[in-house]
Amino acid sequence: MKLTETKSFKGNMTTTVAAKTLSIDGREVPINGERNLLELIRKAGIDLPTFCYHSDLSVYGACRLCLVDIQGRGIQGACSTPPEPGLKVRTQTEEIREIRKIAIELLLANHDQQCPTCPKSSSCQLQDVARKLGIRKVRFKPVHQPEELDFSSVSLVRDPNKCVLCGDCVRVCSEIQGVGAIDFAYRGHEAVVLPAFGKGLGEGECINCGQCAAVCPTGALTPRPEVDEVWRALNDPVKTVVAQIAPAVRVAIGEAFGLAPGMSVSGQIVAALKRLGFDKVYDTAFSADLTVVEEANEFMKRKAKGERLPQFTSCCPGWVKFAEQYFPDLLPNLSTCKSPQQMLGAVCKATLPGELGIPKESLVMVSIMPCTAKKFEAKRPEFAEGGVPEVDHVLTTQELARMIEEAGFRFKELEPESFDMPLGFKTGAGVIFGNSGGVSEAVLRYAAESVTGRKLDNPDFPAVRGEDGTRFATVALDGVQLKLGWFTA
């Protein structure tokens, strides 16, 4: 073990502490509380491949890609080996390269290899690792037996032909989401990942959150696309097609076009949608403001009567289904307000046909949303009047990016345009809906002004902000104490 000197400051004293190190590919690297070798190797600037390691999930160690050679111990999985001072670790040896290649070739031999038509093509980790390892041909006999795709969910498509059995979906669904809608079944070469009781994904307890698709390294779980339906509506001269954009989309889409993360590009999105043929482009932040007023008024009435408290927000359709399935006793505590997506859809369907002089059935409402659960919400029967849905189609941020790419627009060069009025108007409260804790902060701002009867000098409530999954805050308003809590995955 080599001891590296680091300085530690205590009061006015400076002491020298010996840092514990280990060797990675011949370079000494300090150990600073990393849970496993993989974390340490990544910190050292080396991206070892892995399908099944996610820092927020339990260690599974199934994909056998993050193998390393430890002197005196042989080849071991970096994800399941704790760092120890003095270890001599090699990340690239001929033997390791060959084992990685064999692992990938075995997966490819049992994979349908329909890459050009896969929704994950170009962002698939299996493709990426095969390319990096220089695999040009699979040495094993193909054993893949085609299986039917699962289209039972309105939010996601499950394609078992692309699954590499990494178990990421299984662990995120049970460990983070607390649902357990999907799990391993059978053993050995018959092992598969399936929704409970072999049903379709849309027939069980899945809450449509899309977290499994977010971690899936291949095209085995992907958001259910609605791009073709939207193109059809845009190309239909009889239809009037209206878009609404959720607050979170305006910062997420820029990354798909190489812009800095967090950069707001709402003007370019409006311009792109207008060029695609949308007749009106509205801002979901407008109805987020309506939700703020409704939820805050509902809360203040409940608080005055002391009933149905605590009040839970009802904006997230994944949370609503979760509560329906597992906590039906809590349903009276959920706000009775519609989500901003459904509010804007309902307002448009009620007012635009008269305003634009068009038949109601020719109006097509399209939402651009950051979450697959919004696809499920739009299809719920209670959000349709006389069989006409408030929102006809929901596109994810990636689906919109694909449409823009397909149309050939140079997104970065688009001249920004403004939302159509009046449903493009919003306040800062509507915009912060896209942030973690934003709904509560927006409701709090409105409630604070209503309770005190004064305009807030500073509308920020930093106590309610943060990224922690579970948070609590107490806010005092003219002697009234409000207690707030969040649970987010």
Residue closer to ligand SF4, measured from CB, 241 or 323: 323
Tokens representing 197 are 């009781």
Does position 124 interact with ligand SF4 (CB under 6 A)? The reply is no
Residue closer to ligand SF4, measured from CB, 217 or 254: 217
- Helix 340-356 to helix 284-305 angle (10° resolution) is 120
Total interface residues for ligand SF4 by CB under 6 A: 28
CB 247 within 8 A of CB 430: yes
Tokens representing 267 are 């003007």
Min. distance of Cβ 342 from ligand SF4 in angstroms?
20
Q: Which stretch binds ligand SF4 (CB under 6 A): 29-37, 92-100, 157-165, 464-472?
A: 157-165
Angle, alpha carbons 303-304-309 (nearest 5°): 25
CB 258 within 8 A of CB 412: yes
CA distance 242 to 355: 13
Output the CA torsion sign for 357, 360, 362, 366.
positive
Is the omega angle on the peptide bond into residue 49 within 30 degrees of 0, that is, cis? Answer: no
Min. distance of Cβ 119 from ligand SF4 in angstroms?
13
CA distance 98 to 117: 29
Residue closer to ligand SF4, measured from CB, 111 or 338: 111
Instruction: Return the C-alpha torsion angle 333, 335, 341, 344, nearest 10.
Output: 160
Q: Which stretch binds ligand SF4 (CB under 6 A): 166-174, 259-267, 393-401, 419-427?
A: 166-174
**Per-residue x/- marks for ligand SF4, 221-240, CB under 6 A?**
x-------------------
Does position 395 interact with ligand SF4 (CB under 6 A)? The reply is no
In 1-45, alpha helices (H) = 37-43
Residue closer to ligand SF4, measured from CB, 169 or 432: 169
- Residues 169 to 228: which contact ligand SF4 by CB under 6 A? 169, 172-173, 177, 179, 181-182, 193, 206-212, 215-218, 220-221
Residue closer to ligand SF4, measured from CB, 61 or 83: 61
Is the omega angle on the peptide bond into residue 160 within 30 degrees of 0, that is, cis? Answer: no
Q: Which of 89, 107, 157, 166 binds ligand SF4 (CB under 6 A)?
A: 166
Does position 107 interact with ligand SF4 (CB under 6 A)? The reply is no
Tokens representing 419 are 């939302």
CA distance 26 to 69: 12
Identify the three-state secondary structure at position 193.
strand
Min. distance of Cβ 175 from ligand SF4 in angstroms?
10
Residue closer to ligand SF4, measured from CB, 37 or 181: 181
Min. distance of Cβ 162 from ligand SF4 in angstroms?
7
Task: Please name which of 119, 114, 127, 133 lies closest in space to residue 48, comparing C-alpha atoms.
Answer: 133
Does position 125 interact with ligand SF4 (CB under 6 A)? The reply is no
Does position 420 interact with ligand SF4 (CB under 6 A)? The reply is no
Residue closer to ligand SF4, measured from CB, 78 or 179: 179
Q: Please report, as ranges, the residues that interact with ligand SF4 according to CB under 6 A.
A: 156, 163-169, 172-173, 177, 179, 181-182, 193, 206-212, 215-218, 220-221
